[in-house]
Amino acid sequence: MTEYERHFGRGGLNEHVDVDTLIEGIGLDEDEIDWRKSFIGFDESDCERLEAFDEVFEEHAEEIADSFYDHLTSYEQTVDVFDRSPKSIEELKRTQKAYLTTLAAGNYDEAYFRNRARIGKIHDLVDMPIKHYLGQYNIYYGLLLSLVTDRLHEQLTATVEAELERALSEGGDDGIDSQRISRRIYEDVEDGIDELHSLLKLLNLDIQVAVDTYMQSRLDALETERDRFAALFENVPSPVVIVRFTDDGERVEAVNEAFEELFGYTAADLENDQSFEELLRPPGEEPTPIEGSSLLAELSDEQNRELIEAEVTLETMFGRREFVRVSAPVDRSGLEDLEYAFYIDVTDQKQRQERLQVLSRVLRHDIRTQMNIVKGCATSLGDAAAADDDACREMADLIDEAADDLLSMSDRIRGIERVVAGQADRRSIDATALLEDVVADVRGRYPDCEFSLSAPERLWLRGSDSLSDAIAHVVENGAEHNDAADPHVEISVVESLGGDHVTIRVADNGPGIPPSEYEVLTGERDRSQIEHSSGLGLWMVNWVVTKIGGALEFDANAPRGSIVTVRLPRAEPPS
């Protein structure tokens, strides 16, 4: 073993290479190696010629390694690859010297090719492009060719000198046999060409193994990706359809198990050149594009702008269902005619929403109707009561007050429903302008309360049309219940240090928000402990803020009052 060979196969990446699995994947067994040698004509004579280079390679190993890496380190792309290697350039040079000496080992058996496969895999592990790896062989050709030609020149010189010396010793100039010298030179050149050819054959075998390892890695990656996608396609809980677009129309290529379970159809049931949605769509129903910026639309803005969402109504084998369809075309060369369609079943949500809307409307209508009757009766009772019947008058006043409270609650519920239902679209909003409008509006309704606003000239956040109502409720809450001698509400807005969110802070000096009203929102109390509707406004604020990705916090102010903090996502100014 040479000094250099001690550094061969000692790198930190070797533990990540399973050579047995690699060799098995390539199919590089003893029979395959023999076939490859036979195919390019590599035999024992080649081994003998290569063994003759042992001393030459040993002598020039350092020179070859230096020249090789001087060339590679002059290119930024290859330097980037070396930076990913756990070895330094000097360590790589020692490995290169060892590699050179193995070319003249004379024994090119299965162990030799296992080592070549290991080397190829390590180059792949550091993400060396195959163009670099194969290109380096050409650089190597040039360096080794110089050794071969130098060796040939030395041999030719020695042959000519020997022939001249022989001729002079046998008879002077008359003893020079030009034909003999030409024949000897021809033989030396032929031997040199044979040596060079043997070297090129061995390097060609090395290249074959290198290409094999790279291709095996790509095949392994493709198989892993295929298996991962197949598992995802089969196990995703939502129905998925793969559709291919042809000149004749659409064709369903495949459906997953969730589709078959929900729709009752297989891919074979839907094989035709007509859109399967047209087959399953009830008469008069058309897909409705989802307007505004939903969660999936935002993801598509950042990652794939081709995602398209729509609401569709389809007839399954078990009845009519409502879906949100997300269409995702395949953005890959040669597969442009494929599209994946994901169907999110929203039937139950829509029915639940519809029931809540109906119940809310009926409840509000019945409350108002019955309370109007109660108020009328209370008024009549009060008018009919004797002037000195204080107990009767007091009862009438209590009935009238309770009726007013219930009517106010009905109006409040209707307002909350309007705000929450109208906050789907998210956009960039100037927080300063929003707060200025809110403060101006609330100040007009509470002139006895002092309001102060601290805000930069402009600060953009991501919000919805309902955000103004939510912030107004927080500010108004600080003024409405404020029983201080000098009531005041302080509003401020700042950008976070990281620049990812905006914080709106509303502080008052009133009695403070009862913990029972906000602890349910923060999770400190169970929701089953909700006792009355006085905290519905805070629920509205919480729904609006969390829907746009924000958060709501509550703290006590000093010496009295509450601090409500609204944290909202930062946004860029609209173009």
Q: What is the CATH number of domain 4-231?
A: 1.10.490.10
Stretch 191-205: mean pLDDT, rounded? 90
Listing DSSP states for 334-375 in one string gives T-TTEEEEEEEE-HHHHHHHHHHHHHHHHHHHHHHHHHHHHH
Residue-level pLDDT at 507:
95
> Residue 292: is its pLDDT beyond 60?
no
User: How confident is the model over 298-309, as pLDDT tens digits?
Assistant: 434 444 446 688
Q: What is the CATH number of domain 424-569?
A: 3.30.565.10
Residue-level pLDDT at 1:
41
Q: Do the beta carbons of residue 103 and residue 57 sit within 8 Å? A: yes
Residue-level pLDDT at 238:
84
> Between β-strands 450-454 and 488-495, what pairing exists: parallel, antiparallel or unpaired?
parallel
- Number of neighbours of residue 122 by Cβ within 10 angstroms: 22
Residue-level pLDDT at 284:
73
- Which has the higher per-residue pLDDT, 430 or 404? 430
> Residue 136: is its pLDDT beyond 80?
yes
- Name the most confidently modeled range: 107-116, 341-350, 368-377, 510-519: 107-116
Distance from the first to the final alpha carbon of the chain: 70
- Which has the higher per-residue pLDDT, 282 or 152? 152
Residues 6+ apart with CB under 8 A from 406: 367, 371
> Residue 176: is its pLDDT beyond 90?
no
Where exactly are the structural domains of the chain? 4-231, 237-345, 351-419, 424-569
Residue-level pLDDT at 520:
59
> Residue 370: is its pLDDT beyond 70?
no
Domain pair 4-231 / 237-345, same fold = no
> Residue 192: is its pLDDT beyond 60?
yes
C-alpha closest to that of 26 among 179, 218, 175, 271? 218
Residues 6+ apart with CB under 8 A from 503: 493, 494, 495, 496, 565, 566, 567, 568
Residue-level pLDDT at 363:
58
Stretch 150-165: mean pLDDT, rounded? 84
Q: What is the CATH number of domain 237-345?
A: 3.30.450.20
State pTM to two decimals: 0.49
Residue-level pLDDT at 317:
78
C-alpha closest to that of 11 among 67, 73, 81, 88? 88
Residue-level pLDDT at 150:
86
Angstrom distance (rounded) from CA 239 to CA 343: 5
